[in-house]
């Protein structure tokens, strides 16, 4: 087993956008072509988060079906999944893991329900995390429009982690900055959780990714900006590392 | 024509898409009346063992499936929980599996670095599988494994503990990983299954 | 049975083709008469090349970039970038237009080149929902050239950027070596005829196109050129440009990957040229490309004929592309095939300004500002 490099695509109104600290969305383009490029690049997994659906609760199932068709790798979908029905529908369309966000903080009962029905391995939770003035990691909801008072640590203590198969930690402070992953956050989570974890937010280079893997061998790395921009002007260019780049992240050096 | 078994628990569409891309004819099979013309079965499965097996057993579907497989030597490929369902019993639940391969499904031991086993792992092939030299990396997502006789094991994976991930006996095959989500490694394997022919005794 | 030229592989599937008594086609005759004398296979242009390079460098001395270079990831623009940096010592701003159909190979090639050559990259992502409507309008029109929307976006965006940022020189990878034979106008009518585009919009658009950049041929060939001084320069015509050697250099220096056919860096173009144009209108664009290579002495006619014996796309690839195109355009595959079956229309069936292109081309050639009959 090894680490996973996972493109994280964020959507608004059915189109791809990339934010910085969850603000100032930059237009990235059509999701279907981006997914196709990642599929042909043999990406480890793909994560599609619909920021618009989070607020409206209206899920673009047609698009999900098309994206699922293009993915010959596992697909995680999150955004607006507020009912058992919506969750089952997403799964039936070919999504491997359905992902809950705000509900994990406000009303986990639905998550347990869905998990019971389809199995923990098909359920993921994404936590939007920020660091407050005292240095405590806290959770925000509704695409970071609401900062809660719940600390990450308390949430981990209170939530039945075995009900899910994958935990995604989305670092609001590092989002879109390319400033590197928050290694303090990685360090603090690593001890607490016994299930697969994916860190999202801050990857500015493959070196940044490698640093996390050195601390945490089987980690999932959720990547946004690094796989959609290139150069100092942040020109949109969908990209995924080649074999040598991937092996560097997973093993520290190319295998051969 | 490959029959993709759909009893409401498993992602059949991903397999349909994979076979369509490979140009292999397939159709979705929900009831035993649809067995006509099927010369191979794929059994995709996710979720818990009991849930899956109950769905198979309902309305006598499982019995009909086992009968036609035994009677006509029809090849079958079980995927993930579909592979586990080929065995006799499982530690995960109370239901009895199809019993097409002897063995028991067991929980991955605590010594495993992470559970569920989620991600891309190497498969160590002990022999050719489906008459082809298979690729090495596949996507896994499971917490239980098949404890079977060494004789039927074609491929294993190692998580500080070596366990079977590809088994085969005559026309009965199973893989613990997800070929439909393993890019080229997976489509290569599915293509091999599509082309596999039973040797006549 | 179509009649094939004895020298190249263009044939009577090109409705405007004529043959002389020796069985040689009008494309070959025109090429030899209008292109070859001055082009001379790219030989003997050192002075012109040096002159242009000095102008670019001196005009751009105090600026961050001396020119802008459109990079699609295809062989021509990729090799041109390689030359610009490695041979010409230029400081281009590399520009890419993302119309939502980039293949993995295209973006990968762009990435590798930009990385290795350490050049600055700007991209513009075209508003997909609006471009989708523009493309669908062309399907509804029944016209052959479905690639007008993409082509127009590529041209208009580049000119717009150059004008807005005061960059006076545009490097264009167009060349006679691989494009010496002209596209048959009946199937591949100009993408910059705004009168026609506006007519199609009036008749078939279902949404606004206000976020899409447009540029009429008068605007960029006359206004931008003679009033704003924005010039397009085609360096590949001033050197001995050999496609095979260029590919080898790109592969070894950058790990550049080749496409199965010219222009297939866009998935839509692969669908359009590999399937739609060929099977709906009976025209195979490979004939133009291969004939150009024959005329520039980079390919034997027999090899070209062998290439034409097989299909540009396998059945699997066609099926896959049809579904992808339908999915992206948010129509069913059944609807897509309905467009395929509908009565054929041509650019003359809709309002057009073909006379402007003819006149403009003549004027430009007369003042020596343009060499020959190209797109």
Q: pLDDT tens, B64-120?
A: 999 999 999 999 999 999 999 999 999 989 999 999 999 999 999 988 887 789 999
| Chain A residues closer than 8 Å to B13 by CB | 68-69, 92-94
How many angstroms away from the CA of C107 is the closest CA of chain B?
20
Inspect the interface and report whether the beta carbons of A232 and C120 lie closer than 8 Å: yes
Q: Report the C-alpha dihedral over residues C324, C330, C333, C336, rounded to 10 degrees.
A: -100
- A149 classed as catalytic: no
Inspect the interface and report whether the beta carbons of A37 and C107 lie closer than 8 Å: yes
Inspect the interface and report whether the beta carbons of A194 and B115 lie closer than 8 Å: yes
CA dist., res. B77 & res. C126, Å (int): 45
Asked if the C-beta of B110 comes within 8 angstroms of chain A's C-beta atoms, the answer is no
C315: nearest CA partner in chain B: B23
Q: Which domain does C259 fall in, by range? A: 43-310+339-366
Kindly list the averaged pLDDT for each block of 10 residues, start to end, along chain A of length 256: 96 94 94 97 97 83 95 95 92 92 91 90 94 92 84 92 93 93 90 86 96 93 97 97 96 74
Query: What is the predicted pLDDT for the residue at C368?
Result: 64
Pairing of strands A15-20, A229-230: unpaired
Residue C139 lies in a domain: yes
Q: pLDDT tens, B115-149?
A: 789 999 999 999 999 988 889 999 999 999 999 99
- The residue extents of the domains of chain A are 4-251
Inspect the interface and report whether the beta carbons of B119 and A196 lie closer than 8 Å: yes
How many angstroms away from the CA of A246 is the closest CA of chain B?
13
| Chain B residues closer than 8 Å to A39 by CB | 183
CA dist., res. C193 & res. C190, Å (int): 6
Asked if the C-beta of B116 comes within 8 angstroms of chain A's C-beta atoms, the answer is yes
Neighbouring C-beta atoms of residue B106, cutoff 10 Å:
17
How many angstroms away from the CA of B119 is the closest CA of chain A?
6
Count Cβ neighbours within 10 Å for each residue of A93-125 and write b for 16 or more, e otherwise: bbbbbbbbbbbbbeebebbeebbeebbbbbbbb
Query: What is the predicted pLDDT for the residue at C220?
Result: 80
Q: Is the confidence at residue B164, as pLDDT, over 50?
A: yes
Cβ contacts of A73 within 8 Å, gap of 6 or more: A39, A42, A43, A44, A45, A46, B139, B181, B182, B183
Residue C329 lies in a domain: no
Q: Which of B92, B117, B146, B180 does the annotation list as catalytic?
A: B180
Mean pLDDT of B17-26: 90
CA dist., res. A194 & res. B35, Å (int): 43
Instruction: Classify domain A4-251 by CATH number.
Output: 3.20.20.70
How many angstroms away from the CA of B193 is the closest CA of chain A?
18
CA dist., res. C109 & res. C107, Å (int): 5
Residue C92 lies in a domain: yes
Residue of B183, A27, A35, A235 whose CA lies nearest to C111: A235
Q: Which of A50, A107, A113, A128 does the annotation list as catalytic?
A: A128
Asked if the C-beta of B21 comes within 8 angstroms of chain C's C-beta atoms, the answer is yes
- B180 classed as catalytic: yes
Asked if the C-beta of B23 comes within 8 angstroms of chain C's C-beta atoms, the answer is yes
Asked if residue B116 has a cis previous peptide bond (ω within 30° of 0), the answer is yes
Query: What is the predicted pLDDT for the residue at B200?
Result: 54
Name subunits touching B (3+ CB pairs < 8 A). A, C
| Chain C residues closer than 8 Å to B23 by CB | 315-316
Query: What is the predicted pLDDT for the residue at C225?
Result: 83
How many angstroms away from the CA of B199 is the closest CA of chain A?
31
Q: Which residues of chain C are at the A interface, by a Cβ-Cβ cutoff of 8 Å?
A: 96, 98, 100-104, 107-108, 110-111, 114, 120-123, 125-129, 255, 267, 323-324, 327-328, 330
Q: Contact C235/C84 with Cβ under 8 angstroms?
A: yes
Nearest CB among C98, C103, C328 relative to A32 is that of C328
How many angstroms away from the CA of C96 is the closest CA of chain B?
29
User: What's B8's DSSP letter?
Assistant: S
Residue C29 lies in a domain: no
Query: What is the predicted pLDDT for the residue at C373?
Result: 44
Nearest CB among A4, A119, A220 relative to B48 is that of A119
Q: Please identify which residue in the block is written with the tokens 């490309």.
A: C289
Residue C189 lies in a domain: yes
Nearest CB among A42, A119, A166 relative to B46 is that of A119
Three-class HEC string of chain C = CCCECCCCCCECCCCCCCECCCCCEHHHHHHHHHHHHHHHHHCCCHHHHHHHHHHHHHHCCCCCCCEEEECCCCHHHHHHHHHHHHCCCCCEEEEEEECCCECHHHHHHHHHHHHHHCCEEEEEECCHHHHHHHHHHHHHHCCCCCCHHHHHHHHHHHHHHHHHCCCCEEECCCCHHHHCCCCCCCCCCCCCCHHHHHHHHHHHCCCCCCCCCCCCHHHHHHHHHHHCCCEEECHHHCCCCCHHHHHHHHHHHHCCCCCCCCCCCEHHHHHHHHHHHHHHHCCCCHHHHHHHHHHCCCCCHHHHHHHHHCCCCCHHHHHHHHHHHHHHHCCCHHHHHHHHHCCCCCHHHCCCCHHHHHHHHHHHHHCCCCCCCCC
Domains belonging to chain B, first-starting first, are: 2-195 (3.40.50.880)
Name subunits touching C (3+ CB pairs < 8 A). A, B
How many angstroms away from the CA of B132 is the closest CA of chain C?
23
User: What's A241's DSSP letter?
Assistant: -
Q: Is the confidence at residue B21, as pLDDT, over 90?
A: no
| Chain B residues closer than 8 Å to A121 by CB | 46-47, 116, 118, 141-143
CA dist., res. B154 & res. B169, Å (int): 10
Inspect the interface and report whether the beta carbons of A2 and B113 lie closer than 8 Å: no
Q: Is the confidence at residue B201, as pLDDT, over 70?
A: no
Residue C316 lies in a domain: no
Q: Which of B92, B142, B146, B178 does the annotation list as catalytic?
A: B178
Residue of A72, A166, A217 to mutate, interface with B, max B Cβ within 10 Å: A72
CATH code of residue C175: 3.40.50.620
| Chain B residues closer than 8 Å to C324 by CB | none
Low-confidence ranges of chain C (pLDDT < 70): 368-375
Inspect the interface and report whether the beta carbons of C320 and B23 lie closer than 8 Å: no
| Chain A residues closer than 8 Å to B117 by CB | 1
Q: Which of B80, B117, B142, B146 does the annotation list as catalytic?
A: B80
Cβ contacts of C248 within 8 Å, gap of 6 or more: none
- B80 classed as catalytic: yes
Inspect the interface and report whether the beta carbons of A40 and C101 lie closer than 8 Å: no
Residue C12 lies in a domain: no
A28: nearest CA partner in chain C: C125
Residue C317 lies in a domain: no
Q: Which residues of chain A are at the C interface, by a Cβ-Cβ cutoff of 8 Å?
A: 14-15, 27-30, 32-33, 36-37, 40-41, 62, 66, 69-70, 230-233, 235-239, 242
Measured in degrees and rounded to the nearest 5, phi and psi for residue C221 equal -85, -20
How many angstroms away from the CA of C97 is the closest CA of chain A?
10
| Chain B residues closer than 8 Å to A67 by CB | none
C318: nearest CA partner in chain B: B21
Q: In sequence order, what are the beta bridge partners of C58? A: none
Nearest CB among B46, B120, B140 relative to A44 is that of B120
């Amino acid at each position: 087993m090894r680490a996973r490099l996972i493109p994280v695509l964020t959507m608004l109104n059915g189109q791809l956008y990339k934010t910085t600290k969850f603000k100032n969305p930059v237009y990235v383009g059509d999701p279907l072509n981006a997914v196709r490029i990642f599929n042909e690049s043999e990406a480890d997994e793909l994560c599609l988060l619909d920021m618009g659906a989070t607020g409206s609760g209206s899920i673009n199932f047609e698009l999900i079906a098309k994206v699922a068709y293009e993915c010959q790798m596992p697909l995680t979908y999150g955004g607006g999944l507020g009912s058992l029905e919506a969750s089952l529908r997403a799964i039936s369309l070919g999504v491997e893991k359905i992902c809950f966000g705000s509900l994990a903080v406000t009303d986990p009962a639905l998550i347990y329900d869905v998990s019971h029905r389809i199995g923990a391995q098909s359920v993921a939770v994404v936590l939007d995390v920020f660091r407050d003035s005292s240095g405590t990691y806290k959770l925000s909801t509704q695409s970071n429009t609401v900062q809660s008072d719940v600390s990450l640590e308390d949430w981990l203590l209170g939530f039945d982690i075995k009900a899910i198969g994958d935990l995604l930690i989305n670092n609001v402070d590092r989002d879109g900055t390319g400033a590197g992953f928050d290694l303090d956050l990685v360090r603090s989570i690593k001890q607490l959780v016994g299930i697969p974890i994916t860190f999202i937010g801050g990857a500015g280079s493959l070196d940044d990714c490698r640093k996390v893997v050195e601390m945490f061998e089987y980690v999932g790395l959720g990547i946004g900006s690094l796989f959609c921009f290139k150069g100092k002007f942040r020109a949109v260019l969908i990209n995924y590392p080649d074999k040598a780049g991937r092996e560097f992240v997973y093993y520290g050096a190319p295998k051969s | 024509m490959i029959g993709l078994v759909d009893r409401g628990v498993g992602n059949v569409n991903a397999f349909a898409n994979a076979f369509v891309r490979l140009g292999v004819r397939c159709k979705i099979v929900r009831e035993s009346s649809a067995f006509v013309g099927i010369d191979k079965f794929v059994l995709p499965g996710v979720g818990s063992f009991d849930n899956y097996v109950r769905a198979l057993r309902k309305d006598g579907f499982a019995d009909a499936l086992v009968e036609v497989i035994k009677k006509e030597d029809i090849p079958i490929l079980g995927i993930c929980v579909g592979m586990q369902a080929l065995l006799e019993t499982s530690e995960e639940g109370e239901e009895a599996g199809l019993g097409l391969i002897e063995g028991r499904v067991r929980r991955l031991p605590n010594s495993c670095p992470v559970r569920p086993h989620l991600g891309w792992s190497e498969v160590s092939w002990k022999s050719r599988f489906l008459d082809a030299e298979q690729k090495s990396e596949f996507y896994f997502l499971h917490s239980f494994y098949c404890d079977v006789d060494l004789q039927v094991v074609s491929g294993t994976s190692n998580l500080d503990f070596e366990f079977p991930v590809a088994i085969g006996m005559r026309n009965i095959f199973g893989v613990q990983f997800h070929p439909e989500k393993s890019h080229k490694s997976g489509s290569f394997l599915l293509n091999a299954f599509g082309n596999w022919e039973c040797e006549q005794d | 049975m179509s009649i094939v030229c004895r020298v190249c592989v263009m044939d009577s599937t090109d409705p405007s083709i004529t043959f002389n008594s020796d069985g040689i086609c009008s494309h070959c005759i025109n090429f030899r008469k209008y292109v070859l004398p001055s082009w001379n296979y790219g030989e003997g242009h050192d002075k012109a090349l040096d002159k242009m390079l000095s102008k670019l460098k001196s005009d751009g001395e105090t600026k961050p970039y001396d020119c802008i270079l459109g990079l699609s990831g295809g062989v021509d623009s990729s090799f041109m970038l390689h030359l610009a940096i490695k041979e010409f010592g230029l400081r281009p701003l590399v520009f890419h237009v993302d119309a939502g159909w980039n293949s993995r190979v295209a973006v990968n090639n762009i990435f590798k080149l930009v990385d290795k050559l350490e050049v600055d990259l700007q991209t513009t992502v075209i508003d997909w929902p609006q471009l989708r409507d523009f493309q669908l309008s062309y399907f509804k029109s029944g016209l052959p050239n479905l690639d007008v929307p993409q082509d127009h976006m590529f041209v208009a965006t580049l000119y717009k950027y150059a004008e807005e940022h005061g960059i006076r020189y545009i490097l264009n990878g167009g060349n006679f070596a691989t494009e010496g034979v002209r596209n048959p106008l009946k199937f591949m009518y100009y993408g910059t005829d705004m009168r026609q585009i506006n007519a199609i919009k009036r008749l078939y658009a279902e949404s606004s196109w206000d976020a899409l950049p447009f540029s009429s041929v008068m605007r960029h060939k006359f206004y931008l050129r003679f009033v704003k001084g924005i010039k397009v320069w085609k360096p590949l015509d001033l050197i001995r440009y050999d496609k095979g050697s260029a590919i080898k250099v790109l592969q070894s220096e950058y790990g550049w990957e080749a496409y199965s056919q010219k222009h297939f860096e866009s998935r839509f173009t692969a669908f359009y040229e590999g399937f739609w144009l060929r099977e709906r209108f009976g025209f195979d664009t490979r004939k133009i490309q291969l004939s150009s290579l024959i005329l520039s002495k980079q390919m034997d006619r027999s090899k070209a004929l062998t290439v034409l014996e097989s299909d540009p796309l396998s059945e699997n690839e066609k099926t896959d592309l049809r579904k992808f195109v339908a999915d992206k355009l948010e129509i069913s595959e059944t609807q897509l095939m309905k467009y395929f079956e509908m009565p054929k229309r041509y650019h003359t069936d809709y309002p057009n300004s073909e006379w402007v292109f003819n006149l403009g081309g003549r004027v430009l050639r007369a003042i020596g500002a343009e060499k020959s009959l190209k797109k």
